[in-house]
Amino acid sequence: MNISPNWVSIYRWEEKIREDTEVLMLIKTTVVLFNNQLVPCIQELHPYDLPEIIALPILAGEKNYLNWLIEEPSGE
């Protein structure tokens, strides 16, 4: 997980343009854990009505790191 504080976000919400300071969190996980555990957890704990929860594909990566990424979240 990587946490980057003090991101400025400009967006439209409830028909108004808003500007807020937010925190960007990157969480690396598998598709199964993303859908079954991560999304419900964030939805439950996040204070926003509609938090930004998106998944980006990993197009390439160093083999050992990608193997670790697959094995680590499941504890295998």
Contact 25, 9 (CB under 8 A): no
* pLDDT above 60: residue 76: no
Q: What does pTM read for this prediction? A: 0.77
> For the segment 18-48, what is each residue's pLDDT rounded down to a tens digit?
999 999 999 988 888 999 999 999 999 999 9
The count of structural domains within the chain is: 1
Q: At residue 69, what are phi and psi to the nearest 5 degrees?
A: -60, -40
CATH code where residue 24 lies: 3.30.70.120
Coil, helix or strand at residue 54: coil
Residue 23 contacts residue 3 (beta carbons within 8 Å): yes
pLDDT grade for 73, boundaries at 50, 70 and 90: low
Structural domain containing residue 29: 2-74
